[in-house]
Amino acid sequence: MWPKNSKIFTRNACKTLFFVVLVLFVACIAPIQPVWGESVFTIAVDAGHSRNNPGAYSARKVGEHTFNSRIAGLLVDELKKHKKFKPVLINETGADISLKKRVELIKEAKPDLLVSIHHDSVQPAYLSKWIWNGWSVDYSDRYSGFSLFYSEKNKHGKKSLRLALLLGNALLDKGLRPSLHHAEKIKGENRELVDKEKGVYRYDNLVVLRSAACPAVLVECGIIKNRRDEVLLSSAPYQQKIVEALQKAISDFVGSTACIFNAEPADLGGAACANGGGGCHCRTLCCPAAGSRIATHSANGLTGSSKAYRLVAQLPLIDKVCLRKRNQHFHLDCGVSIFPVSIRLLTSIRNRDLWRG
């Protein structure tokens, strides 16, 4: 038999239960201390070709794989210096493997991004002969420089392009220059040149790029058929320049993108910002998960004014966060997924609720 005040007791019990559930929910989604930068990003570094099938030969009869494995190994060592990276060297032993097997090894690594290291040649029409150490060897000094390839058939085509553009910027900053010979309208070339200044080409059917389940770029570090380029590409200081540029671009990609621009350029200028260009008339970004670095890019057509922010209270279940600077307010659009239920929260928070990281 219930006591006389059973209704009051029941109401109080319900209130208490509701309060407990609410506290647990808030504790789950809004930790007091925000978590930032703790994610580890797996970087697959693919050294193209193999010891016995080395790819192209240089102007001094050195196989391309020798150059590829050197840069790949140095890049892995450089990435290991940073706790946020877990580099994985694909086909570390340089064994003869099929293209299918290479794709499988990359898939097994479950990378967050892929960088495939290669060194370049030219089409036969551009080759000449010279005598080196008593050997008649092909060479071409007509073209010089690096090239970068991405595939729109990669499921992360736009992110792959952004990575390629960052790589191009970093290589340019180190004093390297791109080669444009892959855009020549001749047999074996005629590739779509997406960015002339940065040496970025679209090549949809490169299998390693197309089949990767993450953003992927193939880097042609230089042209080993060019006699001067070969000397540079064989030197430790020049190799270090390349590796530092690659590491910088990867860090920039991971640091700024764990933010992804979903807005169309015509709407918000997002792609222009993401590509390092101007013409952005508001600060717009989307981050896929809590703990990601939230970076704003240039506004009002200005460049080089990136700032990083993080939220005072992180939401671990955030699926998407979009910030737009309007009238000195940041509008936070959270698509939150809780088990099978998806809800959308729209709130507005002032600048004081964000702080620079």
Give the CATH number, domain containing residue 154. Answer: 3.40.630.40
81 in any annotated domain? yes
Residue that finishes a domain, picked among 256, 273, 296: 256
How far apart, in Å, are the Cα atoms of 343 and each of 194, 320, 335, 337, 340?
39, 11, 6, 6, 10
252 in any annotated domain? yes
273 in any annotated domain? yes
- Verify that 290 and 234 share a domain, yes or no: no
- Verify that 56 and 158 share a domain, yes or no: yes
Residue that finishes a domain, picked among 213, 231, 256: 256
3-state secondary structure the chain: CCCCCHHHHHHHHHHHHHHHHHHHHHHHHCCCCCCCCCCCEEEEEEECCCCCCCCCECCCCCEHHHHHHHHHHHHHHHHHCCCCEEEEEECCCCCCCCHHHHHHHHHHHCCCEEEEEEEECCCHHHCEEEEECCEEEEECCCCCCEEEEECCCCCCHHHHHHHHHHHHHHHHHCCCCECCHHHCCCCCCCCEEEECCCCEEECCCCHHHHCCCCCEEEEEEEECCCHHHHHHHCCHHHHHHHHHHHHHHHHHHHHHHCCCCCCCHHHHCHHHHHCCCCCCCCCEEEECCCCCCEEECCCCCCCCCCEEEEECCCCCCEEEEEEEEECCEEEEEEEEEECCEEEEEEEEEEHHHEEEC
Provide mean pLDDT across the span 268-282.
Answer: 32
- Verify that 277 and 333 share a domain, yes or no: yes
pLDDT at 255: 78
- Verify that 77 and 105 share a domain, yes or no: yes
29 in any annotated domain? no
Tally of structural domains, the chain: 2
CA angle 151, 157, 162 (to 5 degrees): 105
pLDDT at 325: 35
- Verify that 184 and 319 share a domain, yes or no: no
Q: Which two tokens mark 343? A: 């809800």
Give phi and psi for 140, each to the nearest 5: -155, 120
Evaluate if residue 341 carries a pLDDT over 90: no
Provide mean pLDDT across the span 323-351.
Answer: 33
pLDDT at 320: 33
- Verify that 53 and 182 share a domain, yes or no: yes
Q: Which residue has the higher pLDDT, 269 or 59?
A: 59
- Verify that 111 and 137 share a domain, yes or no: yes
127 in any annotated domain? yes
For 207-240, what is each residue's pLDDT tens digit?
Answer: 999 999 999 999 999 999 999 999 999 999 999 9
Mean pLDDT is lowest, of 199-203, 262-266, 283-287, for 262-266
312 in any annotated domain? yes
- Verify that 177 and 266 share a domain, yes or no: no
Mean pLDDT is lowest, of 14-23, 26-35, 80-89, 200-209, for 26-35
- Verify that 133 and 123 share a domain, yes or no: yes
Contacts of 100 (CB under 8 A, 6+ apart): none
pLDDT at 184: 95
Q: Which residue has the higher pLDDT, 45 or 2?
A: 45
Evaluate if residue 122 carries a pLDDT over 60: yes
Q: Give the whole-angstrom CA distance, residue 180 versus residue 197.
A: 9
Residue that finishes a domain, picked among 202, 233, 256: 256
pLDDT at 40: 87
- Verify that 143 and 69 share a domain, yes or no: yes
- Verify that 203 and 317 share a domain, yes or no: no
For 282-333, what is each residue's pLDDT tens digit?
Answer: 233 333 333 333 333 333 332 333 333 333 233 332 333 333 333 333 333 3
Owning domain of residue 168: 41-92+100-256
Percent of the chain with pLDDT over 90: 59
35 in any annotated domain? no
How far apart, in Å, are the Cα atoms of 230 and each of 49, 140, 149?
18, 11, 21
Using CB atoms within 10 Å of the CB of residue 174, give its burial: 0 to 12 exposed, 13 to 18 middle, 19+ buried: middle
34 in any annotated domain? no
**What is the pTM for the complete model shown?**
0.66
